[in-house]
Structure 1
Amino acid sequence: MSAAPSRAVQRGILGALLLMGLWEGVARGFALPAYMLPAMSDVLAGVWSQRALLTEAAAYTLSEALLGYVLGSLIGIGLAVGLSLLPQVRGGVVAAVTAVNSVPVVAYSPLILLWFGIGVASKVVMVAFTVSFTVFLSTLAGLDRVDRRSVDLMRSFGAGRLALLWRLRLPTALPLILAGLRVSTVRSIIVAIVTEMLGAYGGLGWVIYQAVLQIDFVQVWSAIVVASAASLAFFGLVSLAERRLLFWKAA
């Protein structure tokens, strides 16, 4: 690991410790009730006491998020690449996709749960639906960044559409594609948790919903802390992969 990422990790850990210290001080100093803001020490104690339940729930949510993330990424990249090869239909498809995604994703949750049930499938579909739009837009923007002079030069050597795509458009679009994939990591877990809260057999969203019904606000925050840690880990892994793939940019 290079010095820059190491410093970034150190700053992130320091920032998290400062935030937890501030949280603890505010909660204790103002004697806030648990339903408003429990002390961080109580939340961490809750995470430890419920570690088996929260670990199982986190694994359940992460599996849904990862499956939906991979599926949505493939759909988004594939659709953008297809439109780059068929520019005559681009306007209509982009307008339709934008119209569908102009509605908050949670509005589709009841329909998806009705169609696919309250099991894993509905969460995967919801995550894929959300991720595909973000990745689609970032990939399309990346494919449009190609220098026209480079395109004309390659065409002068006899390069066709597929050769232009593979040798020029995709390498040029790679930074924006990876940026879209990085942004989608957090969104995938958020959507999975929200959909679980509307109906599920397990997962962090289900734990949060059950804890609210039982008026156990410490467990609510414990599940939120675990979800945040999972999101940060997922984001960090994709960011690391981005730095590895874009080594010339990192340098």
Structure 2
Amino acid sequence: MTTVAASNNARRISRGFAGAFLLAAIWELSARGFNLPAYVLPSVSSILSGMITDAGKLAAAARFTATEALAGYLLGCVIGIAAAVGVSMVPRTRGVVMSVATAINSVPVVAYSPLVLLWFGIGMTSKIVMVAVAVSFTVFLSTLAGLDRVDRRSVDLVRSFGAGRMAALWRLRLPTALPLIIAGMRVSTVRSVIVAIVTEMLGAHGGLGWVIYQAVLQIDFVQVWAAIIVASAISLCFFGAISFVEQRYIFWK
């Protein structure tokens, strides 16, 4: 099974690289063939050249954004899972917690950026808070759905053998819910990077969002695309890391 899984992963990776190469080739030919201006669509070769020229600047910005996204992601996962477990353990709080969570997330999370920047400043803390808010709701819903799918008869059986509520949660409910929990965490990876970048564009000392904002002011659209590609690479690596954990450790799904 391990060999088959490794073979399947290798095929998926090779197809991904082939698709990316084909897209880059079409992009390059279209930009050069139609002589498109840089503000419409710069060529891939010019973007790669710009990435090499500004490698130090982009690397520093990427580290800044990745740190914000990862810290906010971990905080959001902890909050989301803890809230879902709390609601599951105390069902009477479900209506209140769901109402508050839904009300907060009924508005696009970026709308809170001015307030968060005002409260926490334009440093890294405000971006971590924004990412945590965006991630926590998704993880909360997926965790709650996973905990709800546990067969009540299985819980009663475990309790009949003398297991307490916490033992039943740890040994039965959480393992059963893990596939949905990790699915919510996987979806949230891309969202964490997006929210970090958008918040940086509204106010920051660094990061890819700040680079994009500055490049737009300088009408340097090649650098805009270079920062976007670096951000996409971060998102893909983040997504791939969580997917690897899912395939490696959530073997019973």
In the other structure, the counterpart of 2:170 is: 166
User: What percentage of residue pairs aligned between the two structures are identical?
Assistant: 69
In the other structure, the counterpart of 1:71 is: 75
TM alignment of 1:145-184, pairs within 5 A = 145-184=149-188
TM alignment of 1:154-233, pairs within 5 A = 154-233=158-237
In the other structure, the counterpart of 1:92 is: 96
Separation in 2 of the partners of 1:23 and 1:212? 21
Separation in 2 of the partners of 1:174 and 1:143? 9
**Offset, 1:247:** 2.5
In the other structure, the counterpart of 2:65 is: 61
Which residue, out of 125, 131, 152, partners 1:127? 131
Which residue, out of 39, 42, 55, partners 1:35? 39
Separation in 2 of the partners of 1:101 and 1:193? 19
For the residue of structure 2 that corresponds to 1:68, the secondary structure is helix
Separation in 1 of the partners of 2:152 and 2:8? 35
Unaligned 5+ residue runs, structure 2?
none
- For residues 200-248 of structure 1, the C-alpha deviation after alignment (integer angstroms, 9 at most, x for no partner) is 0000000000000000000000000111011101111111111111134
**Offset, 1:159:** 2.4
Separation in 1 of the partners of 2:53 and 2:111? 35
- For residues 161-214 of structure 1, the C-alpha deviation after alignment (integer angstroms, 9 at most, x for no partner) is 112111111000000110111111110010000000000000000000000000
In the other structure, the counterpart of 2:241 is: 237
Task: Output the amino acid matched with 1:234.
Answer: F
TM alignment of 1:5-44, pairs within 5 A = 5-44=9-48
In the other structure, the counterpart of 1:109 is: 113
Using the size of structure 1 for normalisation, the TM-score is: 0.97
In the other structure, the counterpart of 1:80 is: 84
Unaligned 5+ residue runs, structure 1?
none
Task: Output the amino acid matched with 2:130.
Answer: M
Using the size of structure 2 for normalisation, the TM-score is: 0.96
Task: Output the amino acid matched with 2:176.
Answer: T
Separation in 2 of the partners of 1:95 and 1:15? 43
**Offset, 1:48:** 0.9
Task: Output the amino acid matched with 1:76.
Answer: G
**Offset, 1:137:** 0.5
User: 4+ runs of 1 displaced by more than 3 Å?
Assistant: none
Separation in 1 of the partners of 2:201 and 2:112? 14
**Offset, 1:109:** 0.2
**Offset, 1:7:** 1.1
**Offset, 1:158:** 2.7
**Offset, 1:38:** 0.5
Q: How many residues align?
A: 249
Task: Output the amino acid matched with 1:171.
Answer: P
